[in-house]
């Protein structure tokens, strides 16, 4: 990587990241707990994301949430789902759940075609919390100061990992990004005892909707309720998340790789 598009994370909210994402159609690469992600705020940026990743469009888009208040404003949840998220927020655990949007939450989506690019065919998205300090700082600032959503995808060719290294994002993404924030040491610190063959390169994803995209019903500790939450992708902190699932819901399912 050459030129001035690459900067080192300084531990705070860097002006370059906010300035870049504030420009229409721009994308940045930013570090998380499990590696690097592409971040953008509008349809033009999402188009660039799909192009540089060569990614299929059938999977739910990722919406990054920098606070529980933001999550509550955007996503449809019942008390049990919200409590499940809150437990992970309180313990600083990366979590993404497939959820429907609130009607009022949709008003925050840019009216430029973004909805089609960051929802699946059922109108759901993956709402992610506690994804890592460098990127959380950016998302929270964009929301609180500009009221803008930040959409994301892993910064690597679709189906491949980046090994938690900025050098692993690939030539296509490197060339396309307007700004790249490097924090290899931060990423490595999250899984200090893991190597390239054992580290998680993604977060856990739990579906909280049925086949039609409707929110799963509250269980109220009753057994045999259907449909139920489904863990559809394992990843970082999966053991802790499974423990929270077992505590929060009498019934849930495990279907790794079930991506509609």
**pLDDT confidence of 164, banded at 50, 70, 90?**
confident
**pLDDT confidence of 3, banded at 50, 70, 90?**
low
Q: Is residue 1 part of a domain?
A: no
Q: Is residue 95 part of a domain?
A: yes
CATH number at residue 162: 3.90.870.10
H helical segments located in 26-132 = 43-53, 68-74, 79-90, 114-118
Q: Is residue 152 part of a domain?
A: yes
Q: Is residue 114 part of a domain?
A: yes
Rounded to an integer, the average pLDDT of 232-249 is 96
Q: How many domains does the chain have?
A: 1
Could you give the CA distance from residue 123 to residue 98 in angstroms, rounded to a whole number?
10
Could you give the CA distance from residue 133 to residue 13 in angstroms, rounded to a whole number?
9
Q: Is residue 260 part of a domain?
A: no
CB-based contact 175:65 (threshold 8 Å): no
Nearest to residue 131, comparing CAs of 110, 115, 151? 151
34-71 pLDDT, tens digit per residue, is 999 999 999 999 999 888 877 666 667 899 999 999 99
Could you give the CA distance from residue 151 to residue 27 in angstroms, rounded to a whole number?
10
Q: Is it the case that residue 2 has pLDDT exceeding 60?
A: no
102-154 pLDDT, tens digit per residue, is 999 999 999 999 999 999 989 999 999 999 999 999 999 999 999 999 999 99
Tell me, yes or no, if the pTM score tops 0.75.
yes
Domain of 157 in residue numbering reads as: 6-254
């Amino acid at each position: 990587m050459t030129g001035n598009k690459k900067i080192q994370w300084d531990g705070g909210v860097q002006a370059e990241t906010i300035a870049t994402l504030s420009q229409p159609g721009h994308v940045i690469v930013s570090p998380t707990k499990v590696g690097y992600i592409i971040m953008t705020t509008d349809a033009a940026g999402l188009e660039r994301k799909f192009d540089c990743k060569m990614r299929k469009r059938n999977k739910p888009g990722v919406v990054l949430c920098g606070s529980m208040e933001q999550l509550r404003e955007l996503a449809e949840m019942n008390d049990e789902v919200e409590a499940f998220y809150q437990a992970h927020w309180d313990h600083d655990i990366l979590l993404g759940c497939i959820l429907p949007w609130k009607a009022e939450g949709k008003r925050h989506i840019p009216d430029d075609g973004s909805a089609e690019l960051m929802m699946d065919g059922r109108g759901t998205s993956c709402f992610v919390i506690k994804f890592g300090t460098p990127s959380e700082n950016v998302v929270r600032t964009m929301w609180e100061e500009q009221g803008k959503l930040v959409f994301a995808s892993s910064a690597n060719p679709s189906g491949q990992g980046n090994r938690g290294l900025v050098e692993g994002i690939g030539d296509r993404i490197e060339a396309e990004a307007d700004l790249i924030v490097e924090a290899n040491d931060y990423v490595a610190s999250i899984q200090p005892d893991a190597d390239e063959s054992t580290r998680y390169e993604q977060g856990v994803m739990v579906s909280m909707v049925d086949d039609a995209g409707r929110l799963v019903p509250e269980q109220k500790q009753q057994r045999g309720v259907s449909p139920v939450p489904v863990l559809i992708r394992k990843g970082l902190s999966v053991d802790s998340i499974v423990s929270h699932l077992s505590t929060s819901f009498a019934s849930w399912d495990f279907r790794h790789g079930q991506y509609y």
